[in-house]
Amino acid sequence: MIPINDFLVLSSILFSLGIYGVLARRSAVLILMSVELMLQAVSINFIAFAVYLSPQAFTGLIFAVFVITIAAAEVGLALAIILRLYRNKATANVDEADMMKW
Amino acid sequence: MGAQEAYLIPALPAAAFVILLLFGKYLPRGGDFVAIAAIAGSFLLLFPVLVDFLDKANGTDFVPVEKSWEWVQFDNFEIRLGFFVDQITIVMLAVVSFVALLVQVYSVAYMRGDPKYGWYFTCMSLFAASMLTLVLADNLLLLYAAWEGVGFCSFLLIGFWWERRSAAEAAKKAFITTRIGDVGFLIGILLLWREAGTFDITEIFDFAARGGFNNADIGGLGLSGNAYLTIAVLFLFAGAVGKSGQFPLHVWLPDAMEGPTPVSALIHAATMVVAGVYMVARMFPLFVLADDIALDVVTALGLITVLMSATMGLVETDIKRVIAYSTLNSLGLMFVALGSGSVTAAMLYLLVHGFFKALLFLASGSVIHATEKQDIRELGGLAAKMPVTAAAFGIGTLAMIGVIPLSGFWAKDEVLHALDQHRNVVLYILALISVFITALYMTRLFIRTFLFEARDRVGWGHAHDAESLMTLPLVLLAALTAVGGLVVFGFVGEALGFPGGFGEFVFFAEPEKFDFAWGVAIFSTALAVGGIVAGWYFWSEKAEPARRAGEALQPVYETLYNRYYIDDAYQWVINRVVLTLGSLVAWFDRNIVNDTAVDGSAGLGLFAGFELKFLETGKLPNYALAIVAGVIGLAVLLLVLRL
């Protein structure tokens, strides 16, 4: 059996990549994708722990399903917002979208 | 109708006040008839109360009538509101309602044409309501409220012509000076309440009689015996000192003469200023239970006031201020009587003083009304022009001096008699000296105003007796001044339906049969006549002897003329101490409280908000970075705390 540490390392790497993407990228679409990466890192954690800690119960798996569902809904919403942004500013660069400051 | 309905007596003027305040502008004549009808109603209501009260009495065994209603109630703390009728209440009610009625009738003519005519009667109604409440109150809290009420009316009416700076200043001075005493009064009330747990006067008496105040202590001062009660009644007396213008708080009363003259007659002679005497008489059982020092203080301050005011009256030239000094003189005598243990003498003096002092003020009001002068250096010779006023003023003067058989004689002799019997001979002699000085300055006042050459021909030329609305009250008061003192005799009292003379109606503990003290009467009459003769010698014709005496005794004259420099001393204290401390407090308030604390904290918020708003860049990566940094920070914190 694959040791749980491997899963945790994988999920940490994915999560860190996601954070890096969110912080470093300027394109709204890429930021969205990075957020998805972070979500999936969390899902991996859920599943790994579920299998290791309580193989009989489905709690962790159900959470993973929820995360996927929410991620799908979120993508729908976020893409719609990005489209509106593109329509208004003719760009998807989040640095340009600073109308909500002081 | 009976004594149970006594609450209607103050209720009528109170209703008149509300009506005048709300609708006075729309009523014809400023609504003066409402005020007069109300006070006349109060006066008439007194008779059923009196008859009922006398009917219930068994000989000289009077039954006080008390009735009260719930006022404040929470948990087991209750304050009741009610009235209490006994003999001294009835005497006070008679003086207050009768003099108030006459003064208001007089005012109709005196104040005619004044732009604030309606407001005058509004204030007068409020005053009458407050004063009657004060007299009837059965608990100290209500009494205190009414006490402040009359003080407030006094303030309004002294400053009635506030356009004149001196009137505004006098009103302020009166209010602040009496307030100093009132604080003491309140402390006294609270001290009594602290132990007795009630404001009801009768209950406090019962509590004191049971020895409830014995060995009471304040904050570990180690008081024992009657010390607590003594301190409490001395604080009560402080209120009386302020209100009744006793030394050292007498300075406001002469200045209070800035108000309209009928106001001086009602408030600053007949009623409000005797509230202190009334209060001490009402609380007398406590003064008796307290250590002797309490009544010693009352006597001492009374006597000091008598002598100071009498001597100051010698050199004062303003007709109203001279009468104001004579009022202080009389009030001092009342306190001397109380201090000597004679409620009878004090209340008798209070009764007749109400008549003759109101008479003097109203008569001087007629003089001022006719000549528009009130400095006796500019008056003179008015008897020929104003015979009725002069006669009334003369009767008032003789009563104040205490010439037999006018009312002042009987009252003053009762006071002297009490002093002679219960105090040492030095005090008695001092009081007799004051009788002489009183005769001196009252004679001076009368002859400089009404006799000899007129110093001001213009005012004298158009002077004449006032219309009947003003002379009628004078005549009534003069008649009462002349015969009012006869109530000391048993047969007069019985003829009026009382069980006996004044001493058998108003007394403390035991009824006192009137006994004519020949010794006192001879001394006082001799001194009074001597004073009149001396006064005549000094101030007749051109008043040459008085001028020479004044020059010979220049320092004395200066001292008296400057009122013993007491006003100056107070002014110095106010300027140097009070205002210095005040400016410190003001500086602290402005700079520390206002600018630093209040404005400072507000400014800090504003500044911080202004600086911090630039963190809101609107850029998504910044927010994201903040979130990540926050999470990392929290994680680090968690790790550190775990370790």
**Mean pLDDT of the B600-623 span:** 89
pLDDT at residue B99 is higher than 90: yes
Q: How far apart are CA B459 and CA B464, in angstroms?
A: 10
Residue B8 backbone dihedrals phi, psi, to 5 degrees? -65, -25
pLDDT value, residue B302: 93
pLDDT at residue B623 is higher than 70: yes
**Mean pLDDT of the B228-248 span:** 91
What secondary structure letter does DSSP report for B139?
Answer: B
Confidence of residue B461 (pLDDT cuts 50, 70, 90): confident
Q: How far apart are CA B349 and CA B505, in angstroms?
A: 14
Q: How far apart are CA B51 and CA B319, in angstroms?
A: 40
Q: What is the ipTM of this complex?
A: 0.84
User: CB-CB: which of A94, A95, A102 is closest to B613?
Assistant: A102
Whether residues A94 and B628 touch (CB distance < 8 A) is answered with: no
- Element holding B311 (H helix, E strand): helix B292-313
Q: Which residue has the higher pLDDT, B358 or B616?
A: B358
Partners of B316 in the beta sheet?
none
**Neighbouring residues of B68: CB distance < 8 A, sequence distance ≥ 6:** B80, B81, B82, B83, B138, B139, B200
Among chain A residues, the shortest Cα distance to B613 is held by A102
Confidence of residue B136 (pLDDT cuts 50, 70, 90): very high
Q: How far apart are CA B14 and CA B579, in angstroms?
A: 39
pLDDT at residue B518 is higher than 90: no
**Mean pLDDT of the B16-22 span:** 93
What 3-state DSSP class applies to B419?
helix
**Neighbouring residues of B610: CB distance < 8 A, sequence distance ≥ 6:** none
pLDDT value, residue B544: 81
What 3-state DSSP class applies to B68?
strand
Distance of CA B200 to the CA centre of its chain: 22
Confidence of residue B360 (pLDDT cuts 50, 70, 90): very high
Residue B618 backbone dihedrals phi, psi, to 5 degrees? 80, -5
Give the distance from residue B595's alpha carbon to the nearest chain A alpha carbon, in angstroms: 29
Whether residues B619 and A98 touch (CB distance < 8 A) is answered with: yes
pLDDT above 90 coverage of chain B, percent? 49
Among chain A residues, the shortest Cα distance to B628 is held by A19
The CA distances from residue B340 to B148, B274, B287, B356, B511, in Å, are 28, 17, 11, 24, 16
Q: Which residue has the higher pLDDT, B590 or B221?
A: B590
Whether residues A94 and B625 touch (CB distance < 8 A) is answered with: no
pLDDT at residue B571 is higher than 80: yes
Give the distance from residue A1's alpha carbon to the nearest chain B alpha carbon, in angstroms: 30
Confidence of residue B589 (pLDDT cuts 50, 70, 90): very high
Q: How far apart are CA A49 and CA A45, in angstroms?
A: 6
The owner of tokens 């926050």 is B630
The CA distances from residue B576 to B360, B563, B581, B582, in Å, are 39, 20, 8, 10
Q: Which residues of chain B are within 8 Å of residue A95 when distances are taken between CB atoms?
A: 619, 621
Among chain B residues, the shortest Cα distance to A24 is held by B621
What is the largest distance, in Å, between two alpha-carbon atoms of chain B?
A: 111
**Mean pLDDT of the B234-256 span:** 91
Give the distance from residue B620's alpha carbon to the nearest chain A alpha carbon, in angstroms: 6
Give the distance from residue A56's alpha carbon to the nearest chain B alpha carbon, in angstroms: 31
**Neighbouring residues of B65: CB distance < 8 A, sequence distance ≥ 6:** B3, B4, B6, B52, B53, B56, B84, B85, B86
Which tokens belong to B449? Answer: 């105003």
pLDDT value, residue B321: 92
Whether residues B620 and A97 touch (CB distance < 8 A) is answered with: yes
Whether residues B621 and A101 touch (CB distance < 8 A) is answered with: no
B273-290, pLDDT tens digit by residue?
999 999 999 999 999 988
Q: Which residues of chain A are within 8 Å of residue B624 when distances are taken between CB atoms?
A: 22-23, 31
The owner of tokens 């003259």 is B261
Q: How far apart are CA B612 and CA B591, in angstroms?
A: 27
The CA distances from residue B313 to B124, B257, B344, in Å, are 28, 14, 27
> Contact at 8 Å (CB) between B109 and B466?
yes
3-state secondary structure string across B503-550: HHCCCCCCCCCCCCCHHHHHHHHHHHHHHHHHHHHHHCCCCHHHHHHH
Closest CA to B353 of B289, B457, B283, B276: B276
pLDDT value, residue A13: 95
| B28 phi-psi bin (left φ>0, alpha ψ -120 to 50, beta other) | beta
User: CB-CB: which of A26, A28, A102 is closest to B616?
Assistant: A102
Whether residues A95 and B617 touch (CB distance < 8 A) is answered with: no
Q: Which residue has the higher pLDDT, B260 or B456?
A: B260
Whether residues B620 and A101 touch (CB distance < 8 A) is answered with: no
What secondary structure letter does DSSP report for B498?
Answer: S
Q: How far apart are CA B111 and CA B122, in angstroms?
A: 13
Burial string for B408-447 (b: 16+ CB within 10 Å, else e) reads bbbbbbbbbbbbbebbeeebbebbbebbbbbbbbbbbbbb
pLDDT at residue B4 is higher than 80: yes
pLDDT at residue B309 is higher than 80: yes
Exposure of B27 by Cβ count < 10 A (0-12 exposed, 13-18 middle, 19+ buried)? middle
> Contact at 8 Å (CB) between A8 and A45?
yes
B184-202, pLDDT tens digit by residue?
999 999 999 988 888 899 9
Reported in sequence order, the residue ranges of B464-513 that DSSP labels E, i.e. its strands, are none
Whether residues B618 and A100 touch (CB distance < 8 A) is answered with: yes
Task: Say how many C-beta atoms besides its own lie within 10 A of residue B611's C-beta.
Answer: 9
Reported in sequence order, the residue ranges of A1-102 that DSSP labels E, i.e. its strands, are none
The owner of tokens 């109708």 is B1
Residue B375 backbone dihedrals phi, psi, to 5 degrees? -100, 120
Confidence of residue A102 (pLDDT cuts 50, 70, 90): low
Q: How far apart are CA A87 and CA A81, in angstroms?
A: 10
pLDDT value, residue B351: 92
The CA distances from residue B493 to B411, B505, B521, in Å, are 15, 9, 21
Q: From chain A, which residues contact B within 8 Å (Cβ)?
A: 19, 22-23, 26, 28, 31, 94-95, 97-102
Length of chain A: 102
Handedness of CA B614, B616, B621, B627 (dihedral sign): positive
**Mean pLDDT of the B228-252 span:** 91
Q: Which residues of chain A are within 8 Å of residue B613 when distances are taken between CB atoms?
A: 102
Among chain B residues, the shortest Cα distance to A15 is held by B628
Q: Mutating which of B614, B616, B619, B623 best tests the A interface, going by the most A Cβ atoms within 10 A?
A: B619
User: CB-CB: which of A23, A28, A97 is closest to B628?
Assistant: A23
**Mean pLDDT of the B101-119 span:** 90
What average pLDDT does the structure give for chain B? 89
Confidence of residue B270 (pLDDT cuts 50, 70, 90): confident
pLDDT value, residue B26: 87
Lowest mean pLDDT among A79-88, B14-23, B211-220, B325-334: B211-220
What secondary structure letter does DSSP report for B199?
Answer: -
pLDDT above 70 coverage of chain B, percent? 100
The owner of tokens 């600018």 is B595
Query: Which amino acid does the sequence have at B350?
Result: L
Q: Mutating which of A12, A17, A19 best tests the B interface, going by the most B Cβ atoms within 10 A?
A: A19
**Mean pLDDT of the B492-498 span:** 83
Q: Which residue has the higher pLDDT, A70 or B515?
A: A70
Task: Say how many C-beta atoms besides its own lie within 10 A of residue B166's C-beta.
Answer: 11
User: CB-CB: which of B614, B618, B624 is closest to A98?
Assistant: B618
Measure the CA angle with vertex B187, ends B182 and B192; round to 5°.
Answer: 125
Confidence of residue B1 (pLDDT cuts 50, 70, 90): low
Give the distance from residue B145's alpha carbon to the nearest chain A alpha carbon, in angstroms: 58
> Contact at 8 Å (CB) between B240 and B134?
no
Whether residues A23 and B624 touch (CB distance < 8 A) is answered with: yes
B27-73, pLDDT tens digit by residue?
888 888 999 999 999 999 999 998 888 888 877 778 888 888 888 88
Among chain A residues, the shortest Cα distance to B620 is held by A94
Give the distance from residue A82's alpha carbon to the nearest chain B alpha carbon, in angstroms: 13
